[in-house]
Structures are given as structure tokens and as C-alpha cells.
Chain A
Amino acid sequence: MSAEKTLPGPAPVPDPAEARGAVAGYLGGIRDVVVLEMKQRLRSRGWYIMLGIWFTVIALVTALTWAGWNASMEVRNSMPVPDGTPQPDGPGSAIFEVVLAFVLLFALLVAPALSANAVNGDRAGGTLAILQVTLLTPGQILWGKFCAAWLAAIAFLAASSPFLIFAVLLGGLTPGHVLVSLVMLAVEVAVICGIGVGISALAGRPLFSIVVTYLTVAALVVGSLIAFGLGVQLTQGTIKANQAQYKAVEYVPGGSPAPIEPGYTCEGPLVEHDVLRTERVAWLLALNPYVVVADAIPYPERLGSPYYYSGGMIENISQGARAALAGPEGTYACANGKVQPQYLQQTTPLWPLGLALQLGLAGLLLWLGWRSLHTPARRLARGTRIA
């Protein structure tokens, strides 16, 4: 074995080939940790059972959604319909939305189980110190654990992709929808895995870190909505606006015409109106994984269509979130005397902010976890042993 010794003296000039070798070595170490973790995971039967249950449940949800849609169509077709009523897009978009929401829910539930005992489980089993005493760096151990947890979670997403593809085949959607939604699901799962691995490196006991990770997921999904709802009450403000004069809208049976132009004009002097300045707390909403995923998925522009279309769930979540981000300046009728676009005009997306906040949280936890894996260790978490 070659004995390498760092010699004191002038710092060596970094050689590009050497730097490449160092990067390859670093990544190789991560890969080796992933190989170890995956071998350990893939050989446990529980994992396959969970995957099987997951597949079955999503198949059931898809089948029920499809059956439900068919039943409602039968009822609809049995009634006389006046000419000009738009035909719905087909079952594709409805199934897609339900399956997507379901897959995200399950992914949020599965990811902590796959990640939140990655480090302290090894510590309890006495295998962490064995890794730490090798040439692996804390970063390699942590990234390896993270990648293994993420890959396992991605296997679950892969198991659900047939149903998303099925939804596309039923019509109404493009393959791009599936691609974007799968990418966003994978990113959300990565965020949860990062949070889980980070917490597992910080907490002493696996049970504790798993519970804390689930609570964090609950805080992101439910807590963000509650916080937004409560926070909005504290954002009382005023805005200068004048009077909106609404035009008469022609009644069309079976659906209302999409207002290509907003159906009002702004007249009169600017007066202070009490409003809720939702843009100040929109970031809370952005933390929600559902908001991030829904907002990132593109939906068709329907401005040109002659009829107002009641958008799907994804579209509504996205538009609602974007309206919160725009605040009264962008949504209040006749704010600053300007006519506000009515529909599908909230073009500033919220998901980049949400994703940045989520990645920031996961990154912070991973960084803290990375610090706690440093050896020789100065401080140990209370009640933990290094080996």
C-alpha cells in the first residue's frame, strides 16, 4: 500500500486531471455507499410488500376514478344537451389529477420511512462508526444515504407511472404533463428524503427522527395552509382603487362564455379600500408540496376558448396560489384604477419560491447532519455513542 503523506511546503498547483480524479473518487465513494445501502434495502421482503401494496392501491384509485367518471358521463349523456356546450376533455385529466394527488400523498408518507432512520439506524446498529473509520468523508456517507433513500422512493414513483401514462392515453393531456409531474414528484420526494436524512443524522434515536420527519411533512402539507390562513389575518392593509362598473353578461345555457376581456370598466376617484395583503404570507403557501407540484405543471391556455372552463384541481390550486402571491395589487378589481385581468393571467409562478424554501430547509438540515458526522467528533448528541 502506498503511504501518502502530506508534506509541508508550497501548495501544489491544482492539476485539472488530478482535480477530475478527486471528483471521481468522491463520487465513487458515494456510489459505494449507495451500493451498500441498496443491497441492504433491496433484500428485505418488507420493501417489496410495500411496493406491491402501493401499486395495488394506486391501481384501485385509478380504476375507481375512471369508473366514477364513466358513470357521471352516462348520466350526462342521458340528458338533452343544447348545441354549443363544450364537451369535457375526456377522463384523462380527471384521472391524472386524482392519481397525481394520490401519488404525492403516498410519496410524502413513504419518503420519511425510507430516509429518517438512515444515519441513526446505522448508529444504533453499530455500522455507522465502521463507515466513519474508513476513508469515507462525512459528505460521502450523507450523500450516499440520501441517494439511496431517494432511489428507493423513486422506485415507488416508477411503480405509479403506468397509471399517469394511462391517464395521458385516455386523452386530454400531453406526455409533457407526465414528464413534468414525475420530475416534480421526484424533486418533492428528494426534499423529504433530504429532511429525513438530515434529521436522522441529528437525532439520537430512529423512532424520534422518524416521528419528527413525519411531523415536518405534516407541517409542510397542513401546517403551511393553517399558517397561511392565520397569517393572512395579520396582513390587513389598504389599497387605492376606484369603482368597477360591470357590463351585462349574456346568459348562455350550459356554460358561461369565457370573458376574453374583463367584464368591467374602472371609473371614479381612487379611494382607500381595506384589503388583505396576501402577498406578504404567500411564501407560507409556497412551502406546500401540493402547491409546488400543481403550480409547476403547465395547463393549457384557455383564454381563446369561447367558453369559460371550470379548470381542474391542479389549475385551481395553481391559480389560487398565484393570486395570493400577486396580492390585491394584482387581483383587486380596479386597484390603482386599472382593470385587472380576470382569469389565467396570474403568470408569476409561485413554485420556484416554494421549491427554493423547501430545498433551503432540506439543505440546512443536511448541513447540520453533515457537521454532526465529522470525526474525530468533538461533541456528541446527548445520549448517543459514537460506537
Chain B
Amino acid sequence: MSVAEMPETTRAPLASGVSAVGVSRRFGSVHAVEHMDFEAPAGQVTALIGPNGAGKTTLLLMLASLLQPDSGVVTVDGLDPAQDSAAVRRRLGWMPDTLGVWESLTAREILVQIARFYRLPKTGIDARVAELLALVRLGEFADQPARVLSKGQQQRLSLARALVHDPSVLLLDEPAAGLDPGSRVELRTLLRNLAAAGKSVVVSSHVLSELDEIADGAVFVNQGRTVKQQTIEEAAQQGRRYAITALDPAALAAKLTELGLEFKAGSGRRPSVSLMLSHDDGAAALLRDLVTAGIAVVSFGPASGALEETYMSLETERK
């Protein structure tokens, strides 16, 4: 499948992947989502980023065909969930932020039941379930009741459940929450593989540094509105903050002042300075200059991820 290009400005729903155009949803007097735009093309991982209460989960519920928007259009592979819910659900995998497990059932039984609910051919179900259990490394716990699984294991089970019917659109609400570092790396690889297989993957998360590694694009939302939509390349282009520590902080500060760079003292445990650099070439040049000037640089690296930079800049704009 060809990777769809992200169009410059779209108001038309995507033919493949998932999109929301001008959707609003209120609960009583609370406007959870107001005229939000979102799109996640096929073949890409799209991050949905925003502070708590920004409307991320509400948007995902609308994309997952569970909530009807008050206004606006949601499409999944070009189909309207309200009109064609069965076809949409066949294409849609959804992993909620709340862990829902049937506690008395084993991991294997849960996946078998879900496969039946998706009306998968009966002969293939056992093999498919075994494959998924291996994928999320739950093989040895497959026949344990779900209640004995740890939070991270339940989270992985939840992911396997979202994948049972091989959906073309995957909506993951905080999939990394509760996962150990090893599982996070595996999740990252898994999501990249799914995107490479032509699926549209939507990830909402707070762990921004991680999204840098996974996502192709990001949609920033706040207070129920889409604040910014950018690709990782765009995020990287806008410059990011670097943190530098040296054995002699005074010498470092002197050199930076001499180079005419604006910097501020870092907030970390070790005495460091941080400064904005517009691109990676500039960073390389600065490091070379510092080293040749005889400054004993101990560390030199990005202080934050590209997405975090955008997020923080949006936060400051808001204040």
C-alpha cells in the first residue's frame, strides 16, 4: 500500500485512514470537543497530544464509532460510522484508556471471545489468538485468569484485543501507560511495523519523548480544539533546546557569551546551561567550537524531544 502524503490543507475526509473534520461534542454544559480537526493517514503513526482534559479521549471515542459528534464528520477509510457501523468496526481496532478485562476469563479466552464477536472464521481463531499472545509476550500467562495479570500485562492484553481482527485503523489511548521499558520498546517496534504494513495508527500519550521515536506526525489539542498539526520533520525544523554541561561552568558561560549566544542556566541537578539551536548543523558546529576552544564538555544533547518543544511552546503561548 502506498503511503499517503499528508495534504497541505484538507477539509475533505481521507479515503484511507481516519479523519475528523470540524467535530464538536458536548456533555451537558461541558464542551469536551469544539470544532476539532484531526487526520491520521494510512501508513503513518499519528500522535494525539494534549494536556489532561484536552478532549483526547472524547475525540478517540468519536473516531472509534462509540460517540456521535454533535456536529462535524468522522470518517474511517472514507466510511461514516453512524451510517455504516459494521463496516467501520471491521476496520477499527480500539484500545481504551481504562483497562476492561473479564477477570475470571483467561487471556486466551478473552481473545477467542473477541474474535468471535468480530465473526472471524472459526477455524482460524485459535491460531490467530496464539499468534497475538506471542506478539504481546503473554504466552506463558495465556491460561491464567486475567485478574492475576499485572497492569502492564493487562495493557498488553488490551492491545492484543484491539488487534484481533487485523484492523486497518488502530486507535490507542495511552498505550504505553504502565508498561515497563522493555515493553515500551516492543510497543514502539510493533507500532512502526503496523504503520509500515499500511495501517493508520493513532496514539494518544503524554510521554512525548517516546512519541518522537514512533510518530510521523502529531496533532496537538487543548481545551477541546486542535491547536497545531505538524509532522515530526516540521517539529525538528523549528529548532530545539540543547543542554550543555562542562567541567568548568564559568568557562562554558564565558565562551557562549563570546559566541553571542543567548542561554540560561539549566534547572537540572547538575550545573548546566541550555539554549535554543535552530537546527542540527548548528548544534554540531557549536560543539566543535566549544571543544576546539578547550572547554571540557561533559555532555551535549537535546534537552527535550521535538514534540515536547512544540508542546511547551504551545503551553507558553497559552499563558
Contact = CB atoms under 8 A, between A and B. Distances in A.
A43 B66 CA distance: 30
Given A133-B64, A375-B66, A382-B28, A387 B104 contact: no
Q: Which of A127, A135, A382 has the most CB of B within 10 A?
A: A135
Contact of B117 (A6, A134, A376): A134
A72 interface: no
Interface stretch (B88-96, B187-195, B294-302, B308-316): B88-96
Nearest to A29: B117
A125 interface: yes
A52 B239 CA distance: 71
B198 to A, nearest CB: 13
Given A376-B66, A377-B67, A133 B89 contact: yes
B42 interface: no
A265 interface: no
A179 interface: no
Nearest to A134: B117
Contact of B61 (A35, A40, A378, A387): A387
B94 A376 contact: no
Interface stretch (B78-86, B174-182, B216-224, B244-252): B78-86
A39 B112 CA distance: 13
Contact of A376 (B65, B96, B98): B65
Contacts of A378: 68
B113 A387 contact: no
A379 to B, nearest CB: 9
Contacts, number: 103
A6 B85 CA distance: 11
Nearest to A382: B28
B98 A133 contact: no
B149 to A, nearest CB: 15
Question: Mostly helix, strand, loop or mixed at chain B's interface?
Answer: loop
Contacts of B117: 29, 32-33, 131, 134-136
B102 A40 contact: yes
Interface residues of B, number: 44
Interface string B58-70: 0001101111110
Interface in B144-198: 145, 161, 165-166
B109 interface: yes
Contacts of B259: none
B67 A134 contact: no
B97 to A, nearest CB: 8
Contacts of A122: 100
Contacts of A127: 100-102
A155 interface: no
Interface of B: 27-28, 57, 61-62, 64-69, 81-82, 84-87, 89-92, 94, 96-105, 109, 113-114, 116-120, 145, 161, 165-166
Given A1-B120, A28-B116, 10 more contacts: A33-B117, A125-B100, A131-B117, A133-B94, A135-B89, A135-B117, A376-B69, A376-B82, A376-B85, A377-B67
20 contacts: A4-B86, A4-B90, A6-B84, A25-B119, A29-B117, A29-B119, A32-B113, A39-B109, A40-B104, A43-B104, A126-B98, A126-B99, A128-B100, A375-B68, A376-B62, A377-B66, A377-B67, A386-B66, A387-B61, A387-B98
